[in-house]
Amino acid sequence: MEPSMFDAAGAAFVMLADPWRLLMLFTGVILGLVLGILPGIGGLAGTALLLPFTFNMDPIAAMALLLGLGSTTATGDPIPAILFGVPGGAGSAATVLDGLPMAKRGEASRALSAAYMSSMMGGIFGAVLMGISLPLLRPIMLYIGSPELLSFAVLGISMVAVLSGNTPLRGLTVAGLGLMISMIGSDPQTGTLRWTLDTLYLWEGPPLVPIILGLFALPELADLAIGRTAIAGNMARTDRRGMIHGARDCFEHWWLVLRCSWLGAALGAVPGIGGAVIDWLAYGHAMRTEKGAPQSFGRGDVRGVIASESANNAKEGGALVPTVAFGVPGSAGMAILMGAFMIHGLVPGPDMLSKHLHITYSMVWSIALANILGAGLCYLFSEHFARLATLRYTLIMPAVLGIIYIGAFQGARNWGDLWTLLIFGILGWTMKQMKFPRPPLVLGLVLGEIVERYLFISIQRYGLTWFQRPIVLGLFALALLGLVRPLVQDVKAHGGVKGMLSGFGAPRFTIQNLYSVFMICVLGAMVWQATSWNFSAKIVPLIVGYMALTFCTIGLLNDVFRKPEDQMELGLASAAQKQVEQKAETKIHMDLESDTDHVPVNQIAVRALLFFGWLLAFMGSMAVIGLIPTVPLFVIMYMRLEGPERWSIIVPYAVLLTVFIWIVFDQLLTIPWPPTYLGGWVPALKGLIPSV
């Protein structure tokens, strides 16, 4: 086996070195970087677009083109995440937590460089791991069934305790809300419609992309509009020295890169886990294992960027393993790649590991070379990217918001995507202001459907004997340890159980308590509606709902009745409020903090209403005249009223942005735009506004 494996790998490299195939790979890399930079668009649309162009190509060139795009989308993702706090894709949301604070203090180049280098190293490691493990992993992958997939998901959810910082009760509450949101739609067991609000849009559940953009992109843009400043006020450290520093960080923390790359590749090989959660799991792993991480992560620690991005890029190599070996796509992008297999007469399975082994290894080389090319191109233009963080908010906002709306519309290509974006944008901003951690909501949202589906499958197929499977027992034990250890820490911090049950005083109410009451009302309403459903449809939602209500209620009572000097939540040991004020470094908040301290509270409220008012106005204009005609109108109105900017800047800006959106999204990607009230009524706009 060994000689044939190395022979096939060598032959595949020689075949891929053909100039035409390298050109296809390079083309895919460029397209992948562009789509990665555009928030919410992702590589899925690009891969689907390129698929018809592979008909007349040989298999190696076709795979090079498609994998070149798919492998480097994640390399471009951190650029908007670090510079604007806007995740380029769902897999780069964790990068925002440390990348944006680094950009704000003038270290954008260092953060970008660390992201590129860790992405490249992670991608290469994922490809190497795939190349070595493909012939060896087949018996292991065949052993993994629904119980193991369930236990993987439960282990992921146990990361909530880590990603909640020193407010674990709030984190568990938010994770419960995320789990319940993931169950919205038609119940797969009974067909019961759960929390669909009588809308067809929610029958399949809300799409992930608009939720991620709403939770993590809009709140950062709102704070930018409230603060009315540039993201980074100086360029003192955004130069070549910063680029060298970021690359050196990756080599200094090579063991972290290696661990997170392995984690990303391993989880990428598990069908159903998805790229939207892998970066959070790697981030949580780094925070648990790196020295001093709980205090520095979320405040601009380069290790947070390295952990997230190395895992994010390594997942592509892992996702290719089940795709090639079993014909089970490891991701949505790999499902489209299966279409290319069919086009070229390739059948996943034993043949890909024997007769067509050279084609399989050409895919491995394509992923590795694509990551090297992608990182090289990013380094070439990175200094120019970093300077974007110094632009005035009135120059950044129109373009970024326009692209975000287009990206959000890729969820289900329905008007509901835009309302989902707005609703979760408001939810995300208020959670950020009230110190409710947002990462646990993403974990619950992504893993909730997996937990429920594989739980029912495991019970129906194995009864209760699946609890005895070794991998299940091991992963459940790790998950339990992750959830119990913080509780033990807090019991010790209070001087035992007796200390935890004392220290209560007169009630104290704050605005954060009102937000807890709001959460209780939302969860209570969802639980009350679930009580009337079929037993199979309601059992999991009710368990999750009652647990989330319990966590939220205990947290509220703890905040209201415990004395400030004794106030700690169950979970990670947190310092008392007075100690936090005296010694800020003891505070652990696993989320971005609002950088609007220089703005009075009443102005924050007014400017936030104004920002979300602009979003409603944008949507209102889209509803009447369509998205593309709205873009120049929005640019002109926003830049004149918020700036005011000069007409010599506004007019070229509006024209160039509109032409770019029209060419890329209307002509190349042929996106079917949302229907409008005037669709078909205005001949002058024919081609720009679809008919209703």
Same domain? 112 vs 19: yes
Candidates 233, 418, 434, 323; CA nearest to 47 is 323
Mean pLDDT of 485-490: 64
Number of neighbouring beta carbons within 10 Å of residue 439: 30
Position 74 in a domain: yes
Site of tokens 């969860």: 523
* 335 & 438 share domain: yes
DSSP 8-state assignment for residue 646: P
- Tokens linked to 561: 């009745």
Q: What whole-number distance in Å separates Cα of residue 333 and Cα of residue 49?
A: 12
Q: Could you tell me if 529 and 627 lie in one domain? A: no
Q: What is the model's pLDDT at position 165?
A: 61
Distance CA 246, CA 360 (A): 33
Provide the pLDDT confidence category of residue 303 given band limits of 50, 70 and 90: very high
Q: Which of residues 545, 566, 587 is at a domain's end?
A: 566
Task: State the average pLDDT over residues 635-639.
Answer: 91
- The answer to whether residues 661 and 557 belong to one domain is no
What is the rounded distance in angstroms from the CA atom of residue 411 to the CA atom of residue 378? 27
- Whether 560 and 625 map to the same domain: the answer is no
pLDDT reading at 542 higher than 60: yes
Tokens 């807890």 appear where? 516
Q: What's the CA gap between 431 and 217, in Å, rounded? A: 13
Residue 62 has pLDDT above 70, yes or no: yes
User: Averaged over 152-167, what is the pLDDT?
Assistant: 72
677 closest CA partner among 618, 619, 627, 625: 625
Do 398 and 338 share a domain, yes or no? yes
Buried b (16+ CB within 10 A) or exposed e, 372-392: ebbbebbbeebbebbebbbeb
Looking at residue 386, its pLDDT comes to 67
Q: How far is CA 233 from CA 224, 558, 584, in A?
A: 12, 40, 24
Q: Is residue 480 part of a domain?
A: yes
Q: Would 691 be classed as within a structural domain? A: no
Q: Name the residue among 86, 78, 156, 159 with its Cα closest to residue 118.
A: 78
The pLDDT of 455-483, averaged and rounded, is 83
Is the pLDDT reported for residue 41 higher than 70?
no
Q: What pLDDT does residue 633 have? A: 92
**Cα–Cα distance, 440 to 450 (Å, whole number):** 16
Residues 153, 53 within the same domain: yes
Q: How confident is the model at residue 576 (pLDDT cuts 50, 70, 90)?
A: very low
Are 67 and 266 within 8 A, CB to CB? no
Per residue in 320-347, pLDDT tens?
Answer: 777 777 666 666 667 677 777 777 777 7
Indicate the angle between helix axes 59-76 and 332-343, nearest 10 degrees: 170
311 in the same domain as 236: yes
Which one of 505, 540, 566 terminates a domain?
566
**pLDDT single digits (tens) 405-418:** 887 887 677 888 88
In a domain, 666, yes or no: yes
Domain residues for the domain of 362 are: 2-566
**Using one digit for the tens of pLDDT, what is the confidence trace for 190-226?**
888 999 988 888 888 888 878 888 888 888 888 888 8
Question: d(Cα 322, Cα 266) in Å, to the nearest integer?
Answer: 11
**Would the pTM of this model clear 0.85, i.e. be above it?**
no
640 CB-near residues (< 8 Å, 6+ apart): 650
Q: Could you tell me if residue 250 is inside a domain?
A: yes
User: Is residue 66 a contact partner of residue 16, using CB atoms and an 8 Å limit?
Assistant: no
Evaluate whether residue 413 is within a structural domain.
Answer: yes
Which pLDDT does position 451 carry in this prediction? Answer: 83
| Model pLDDT, residue 89 | 65
Structurally, the chain folds into a number of domains equal to 2
By mean pLDDT, which of 157-166, 214-223, 311-320, 634-643 is the weakest?
157-166
Residue 570 confidence (pLDDT) = 39
Report the candidate in 453, 448, 420 with the shortest Cα–Cα distance to residue 548. 448
Q: What is the mean pLDDT of residues 541-560?
A: 88
Between 197-206, 240-249, 342-351, 452-461, the lowest mean confidence (pLDDT) is in: 342-351
661 and 528 together in one domain: no
Tell me: do 501 and 638 sit in the same domain: no
Residue 466 in any domain: the answer is: yes
Residue 692 in this model has a pLDDT that exceeds 70: no
Which pair of structure tokens corresponds to residue 511? Answer: 């605005």
pLDDT value for 40: 53
d(CA 372, CA 29): 10
Task: Answer whether residue 580 is part of any domain.
Answer: no
Q: Same structural domain for residues 194 and 74?
A: yes
Q: Tell me the average pLDDT across 88-103.
A: 80
Other beta carbons within 10 angstroms of residue 199's beta carbon come to 11
Whether 449 and 536 share a structural domain: yes
525 has a pLDDT exceeding 90: yes
Q: What percent of the chain has pLDDT over 70?
A: 79
Look at residue 326 in the predicted model and tell me its pLDDT: 67
pLDDT for position 57? 83
